[in-house]
Structure 1
C-alpha cells in the first residue's frame, strides 16, 4: 500500500505507480537466463576480422566521412562508475588487524607504488598530512597511513571518486592522465572532423559533475593545443525515472528507516535514455575505464 509520501517520491522521479508495480512483479517472478548456443568465434561468424585490405578501405571511408563537416560524430562515455570496488582489498587491509601487508594484493600494491600514476599527488598529500613521503612511511612500516592517504577523505579521496577522475596512466614527458583525459585524446584521434571539432558526451553522477566540469575546462585546452582540436564537451546525469525499486524477500517494497521507499540507480542499460537524447549521425560508445595509454593506442586507433 502506497502512502502520500510514496506518491510524491514517485512523481519527483517520474515513475508511475504502474511502472512501480511492474518492477515489483518482475522481481517476484525473477528473470530467466539467456540461453546461448555457442561462444562467438571467427568460425561461426560471431567475430569478424577484416583483412588488411578491407581494413584500409574502411579507414579511407571513415576519413572521407569525417571530412564532411555536416556529419555529426559524438563520443558517448558512461562515466558515473565509482572506484570503490577497485580498492576493496586496500580497505580490508586498512580495517584489518595487521599493520603490514598480509595479502598478495596489498604486497603487490606496495611493490608497484613507486610506478603509480598518482604517486606525485599522493606524496604531496602525505607530506601535507604527515610531513613524509610514501617511501619514507613505507620505510618506517607505516603502511596504513599511505593507504589512508590514498583512499580517505583527508587524503586524495580515491575511495569515493569516480574512476574517470583517478590518475590511471603515467607519462614521463607530461603529467599523468585520468581516463577522462584519455578519452579526449582518443576523441581527437578518430572523431575529429575537418574543422577540428571533437564532440564528447559524458554521463556522470550529480555529486561529481562539478569536478568533471573543472577537469574538462583545463584538459580541453591542454589537449586542444596538442591535437589541434576544438572540444565540445557536454554532460548529463542518469535519469531518476530509470531507478529501480528495492524489494524485501517477500516481494514487498523495501523501506528506509524513515519509511521512504528505497530506489537504486539502474545499470548501464538505463543510459539508453541519455543516449537517445544525443542528436548525431554516428555515436561511439565506450565506458570510462576502457582506455589505453599512448604506447598501446595503435591497437585502438588505426591510421
Structure 2
C-alpha cells in the first residue's frame, strides 16, 4: 500500500493521524463495494417499537425527574454542517435567472422552482427579513425605486453573497431560526433552552456541540451570552477523514498533486461522543428545534430518559446476578424473557441446549453493552430511513436504524419491506454509556466497521468517490442494545430548507 504514495503523501497521512491499515480498508471498499443492509422486516408497534399510554409516559417522566439529580447528563448536538442545502433552490435561482430577459414568474414556470414561490410569498415572515431589508437598502442606493422582481433578486443576493449575509456558507447552528420578544434566536439558543429539562438543583445543564474549527468564534459569541449553562465544543478529528478516489479507484489528487481527503460523515462523531464524561447522553440534530411546543418536547425527552433509567437499572441488576453465577432456573428464565422482550435480543436457535455456564456467558455478553432508547415518529410521508430488523453476514438478527442509502431498493422483496415501514428516525436518542460497574464503555468497540457507504461527489468539476464511515446512529451504534419507542410527531421540526421556517412550529404563536 505504501508504494502507492509519495513521501509528501505519507507525511500528510501521518500528520492527519491516519493509519495505512485504514487506507487499505477504504481502498478495499472502493474496489469491492459495500453490501447493502439485509432487511428482515420493519420494526412496528408491538414488534420492535414500544407505544406508551399517557399514564406510562407520565410515569417515566417522573422516573427521570427522580433519578436525574444523581446522574451526570450531557446533551450532544452535531452542529458543524453548513447551511448550503437550506438555500439550494435560491442559489439555483441566482445562477439560472436570466436577469433583464425574464420575470421571476417566467423563471418559476421555466424551471418549476415552486420553492421560490413559497419563499417570496412568505419572505416577510422569515426571522432575518427586517435585518436583510435594512442591509440591502444600505448596500444598494435606489433600492426603493426598483421593481418587485429587481428587489427580490437583490434581497436574495444579499442573503447569500459573501458581501452580504453569506448564509449558505455558514453553519445552520448560528443562523436566526426564530424571533422571540423581538430578538432573533439561533438553534444554539433553542437547544440550550430545551436542555432545561435535565437541570437538577443548582447544577447547570451541559450541552456539547460538535463544530467546525473555523466557526468557533461565532459559536462562542452566542454561547457566551448564557452563564447558566455549561457549553462545550469539539471538532471532528482529522484522523476520521477518508481518502477520495477517482472513478477508477486511484487516489484523487488536487491541482497541486496533493491527496484529497474528505470528512468521514457524522459517523466520525463516535470519537467525540466517546470522549464525553457522563452517565447519560441525549443526542439530537442541530436543526430539529421549535419556536413552540416546548412543553411537549420536554415531556418526550423526559419520557425516553426515564425509560432508559428503568431498563438500565434492570440490566445492571441482572448482570450482577449473572456475575455471581448463582442463577437458578426461575431467575435464568426471567433474565432471558427480559433480554428478549425488552432489550430485543434474538437468541440462537439452539440456545436451550447451551450448558448453564455458556448461557450465563452469552447473557453477560449481550446485556453488558451501551444502551440507547430512540424515539421514533409516525411516517406520514413516503417510507424511508428508519427502524428495521436486519440480518448481518453471520445471520444475527438485530434492531437497527437504517438509512435509505443502505437499502437495496432494486430488490423487490427488500422494497416490499421498506414500503411496510410505519415509522422513521428523527434522531431523538438517549444513550447509557456506562456499564453495571460504573465504568465508561469504549464506544468504538461497538461499531460495525463494514456498514459505511460510498458516495459520488465532485471537486473542481471532476468526479470522485468518497467513503463515509458508519453513521453515528447506524453502524457506529450497531452493537448497542436498542429500544425504539414512539414519540409525538410534534417533537420533530427539522429545518432542511429555509422554507421550513415558515411552518407553524417555527412561527410565533401569536401570528
State the TM-score, normalized to the length of structure 1.
Answer: 0.89
Inter-partner Cα distance in structure 1 for 2:167 and 2:45? 40
Q: Is there any run of 5+ residues in structure 2 with no aligned partner, and where?
A: 303-511
Pair 1:255 & 2:253 matched? yes
Pair 1:152 & 2:178 matched? no
- Which secondary structure state, in structure 2, belongs to the residue aligned with residue 236 of structure 1? strand
Inter-partner Cα distance in structure 1 for 2:30 and 2:290? 38
- Cα deviation for residue 297 of structure 1 reads 2.0
Inter-partner Cα distance in structure 2 for 1:169 and 1:27? 43
Number of residues of Structure 1 aligned to a counterpart in Structure 2: 287
- Conserved? CA contact 1:137–1:146, under 8 Å: no
RMSD value, Cα: 1.8
- Cα deviation for residue 130 of structure 1 reads 1.7
- Cα deviation for residue 80 of structure 1 reads 0.4
- Which secondary structure state, in structure 2, belongs to the residue aligned with residue 249 of structure 1? coil
Residue of structure 2 in register with 1:81 after alignment: 81
Residue of structure 2 in register with 1:187 after alignment: 195
Residue of structure 2 in register with 1:31 after alignment: 34
- Which secondary structure state, in structure 2, belongs to the residue aligned with residue 38 of structure 1? strand
Residue of structure 2 in register with 1:90 after alignment: 90
- Cα deviation for residue 43 of structure 1 reads 3.8
- Which secondary structure state, in structure 2, belongs to the residue aligned with residue 164 of structure 1? helix
Select which of 213, 221, 226 maps to 1:206. Answer: 213
Pair 1:165 & 2:174 matched? yes
Residue of structure 2 in register with 1:58 after alignment: 60
Structure number with greater Rg is: 2
Residue of structure 1 in register with 2:15 after alignment: 12
- Larger strand fraction of residues: 2
User: Superposition pairs for residues 213-228 of structure 1, below 5 Å?
Assistant: 213-218=220-225, 220-221=226-227
Residue of structure 1 in register with 2:239 after alignment: 241
Residue of structure 2 in register with 1:227 after alignment: none
Inter-partner Cα distance in structure 2 for 1:50 and 1:137? 57
User: Superposition pairs for residues 137-148 of structure 1, below 5 Å?
Assistant: 139=148, 141-148=150-157
- Cα deviation for residue 8 of structure 1 reads 0.8
Inter-partner Cα distance in structure 1 for 2:50 and 2:182? 37
- Which secondary structure state, in structure 1, belongs to the residue aligned with residue 188 of structure 2? helix
Pair 1:296 & 2:270 matched? no
- Which secondary structure state, in structure 1, belongs to the residue aligned with residue 184 of structure 2? coil
- Cα deviation for residue 196 of structure 1 reads 4.0
- The superposition leaves residues 241-265 of structure 1 with CA deviations (integer Å, 9 ceiling, x where unpaired) of 0001001122111111111111000
